[in-house]
Amino acid sequence: MSIDDAPLAVTLGFVPSEVTVPDLERPGLLRAGPRAAAPYARDNVERHVCRATDLCADDAVQPDLFEFGFDTVDLSPLDDLQRACARVRQAGIVTDAEATTIRSSLQGTRLRSAGGRTLTVQFIAEEGFIMRIAGPNGMPVGGTGSKGMNGHGGATSVHADQDVFGTPLTQLMDGRAPSLFRHDSPDGHNHDATLMLVNLWIPLQQITQPLALADGRSIDRRRHQLRYGLATESFLDRNDDMTVNDIWTFLHHPDQRWYLRSDMDHDRAYVFNTLSTPHGACTLAGEDVAEHFYRALEAAEAAVAAGDVDALLAAVTPLGELAIPGDTPLALRAAVDAMAAVAAEAGSAPGEICQDRADGWLARSGQARRRVVRMSLEMRLVVAVGR
């Protein structure tokens, strides 16, 4: 399938071109602004509509970890991990105990990728285990800020998590990382190594704000991959010489090829090259409608809890005018339909919903809203890749 035939138009955030500066340490290459001073927040991201292939709907393309830079692995046989993920999904937070269970389930495990490669887990990094929560259309739903493993929103900008030539890998590995790990960088590559530093990205649920990943072969790394120093004091405890994390941001270009899965749970996880693979949360068609329903039902729930019939009708009545776009993925369409059914129930019998039927309706409404919240876990592994 060519990029022009890709069935979905998704919105992704990229670093603005106006912040690019020459990389004085590496002539001919670019940086995203001075080290630890470039924009990374949502309001400093340039949004682009990109063509993306939904791998749930099209099985003609099979990504490969070595060729594309990403793949998926089957986690369903790991019973302890599956039970822990289910508990985290229900609770909406990850605890130290659940993180320990998930780590121990993976240590030393041989994972089989969809592309037919075997990944043997050699090491699981202490830092980098986090839970991300994001609402439809990128609306914040996870609180006011990150606290350890929890409270992280969706990644608002396309990035790759580590520069193989930068901090902290240089300090931790005495400069040996480029020769040990497989990677593609603007100023070098290693296509011989079978040892990889990868992200394991486990979706607890993700029918909104799904992770989009680029085929690395479609990236012009010298022109569009920019070094960036990410200050980590607010969320990582590191030595002073490693507080700035050297990562990558990316400029948009229409030749880039993007992939996602519009419906995915913790039976399967993405695995992708931490050092090279562009990725970020994307916004699907229909997420703006899902956000309207989410916010309206949240207001309706407050009205029902207060027994306020007028406020309930004010919240749900305008929803009847909303129409979901035709290119909305099936899983998201079904979730919006579920919210619409709950809203219609409230609109048809507001007096009863505010009185005798309140408890049941509140439970159904909360469940319907929760369905469109993206929750995911991620961690960093060293794996040996074989056939």
What is the per-residue pLDDT across 329-382, written as a single tens digit (0 to 9) for each? 999 999 999 999 999 999 999 999 999 999 999 999 999 999 999 999 999 999
Read off the amino acid at residue 139.
M
Q: Please, which contacts does 308-313 make with residues 24 or more away whose CB atoms are closer than 8 Å?
A: 308/354, 309/350, 309/351, 309/354, 312/346, 312/350, 312/353, 312/354, 313/347, 313/350
Write the pLDDT tens digit of every residue in 121-165.
Answer: 999 998 889 999 999 999 999 665 666 899 899 988 999 999 999
Write the pLDDT tens digit of every residue in 31-72.
Answer: 987 765 544 554 578 999 999 999 998 777 889 999 999 999
Alpha-helix residue ranges (DSSP H) falling in the chain: 79-91, 96-106, 169-172, 177-180, 221-224, 287-306, 309-316, 330-348, 350-353, 358-370
The residue ranking higher by pLDDT, 242 or 104, is 104
> Strand (E) positions, 125-162?
130-134, 159-160
Average confidence (pLDDT) over 243-269: 93
Write the pLDDT tens digit of every residue in 255-267.
Answer: 999 999 999 999 9
How much is the pLDDT for 6? Answer: 53
As a whole number, the mean pLDDT across the chain is 91
How much is the pLDDT for 4? Answer: 42
Average confidence (pLDDT) over 222-249: 73
How much is the pLDDT for 47? Answer: 95
Has residue 283 got a pLDDT over 60?
yes
Domain boundaries, the chain: 3-284+375-386, 287-370
pTM of the model: 0.92
How much is the pLDDT for 339? Answer: 98
